[in-house]
Amino acid sequence: MPTHYDSLTIRLRELEDKALTDTLKALRSLRTGASQLLTTAGIEAAAELGCFTSTCPVDVAPDPAPKKRRRWPYTPETGPAVSRRTITVPPLYGPVFARAASLVGLSTQKFLVGSLTRWITLRKKADRDNALLQAIQLPDTYSES
């Protein structure tokens, strides 16, 4: 039975694009791709913000201006994008990403970029024996989070 996936194009700055490429190389034994990595990172970050697939209505748009936005240490820095990547997102995850993004005042795309840097930061702390992973450079603001 075919499954419908939504396409989402994200723009990455040079450091973010390199971090994504290098992370995929560091995790090559898992045979994961950019879509799977960004989706995993997004689901973990959304859960940390209290957004889950089981409780997020799929047919209701997220509040574009929630009354109380949370400070999120993984908000991506602004700057010119050097690459674009189109990823596929399972249909249950799109509304969760949109809701979590609205809680921190970001677009869904920027939320996923921030989620990626969050995931890489945490993975580097958990997998200190992976030399390729440890060599990935992230902005200083993420290494302290």
For residue 17, is it within any domain? Answer: no
For residue 18, is it within any domain? Answer: no
For residue 2, is it within any domain? Answer: yes
Q: Judge contact between 116 and 74, C-beta under 8 A.
A: no
Note down the domain range covering 44.
Answer: 1-9+27-57+88-145
For residue 134, is it within any domain? Answer: yes
Structurally, the chain folds into a number of domains equal to 1
Q: What is the mean pLDDT of the chain?
A: 87
Q: Judge contact between 19 and 83, C-beta under 8 A.
A: no
Closest listed residue to residue 95, CA positions, set 38, 42, 121, 56: 56
For residues 121-132, average pLDDT: 95
- Answering whether pTM is above 0.85, one says yes
For residue 102, is it within any domain? Answer: yes
For residue 66, is it within any domain? Answer: no
pLDDT of residue 141: 66
CA distance 145 to 140: 9
User: 46-92, pLDDT tens digit by residue?
Assistant: 999 999 988 876 665 555 555 556 789 999 888 888 999 999 999 88
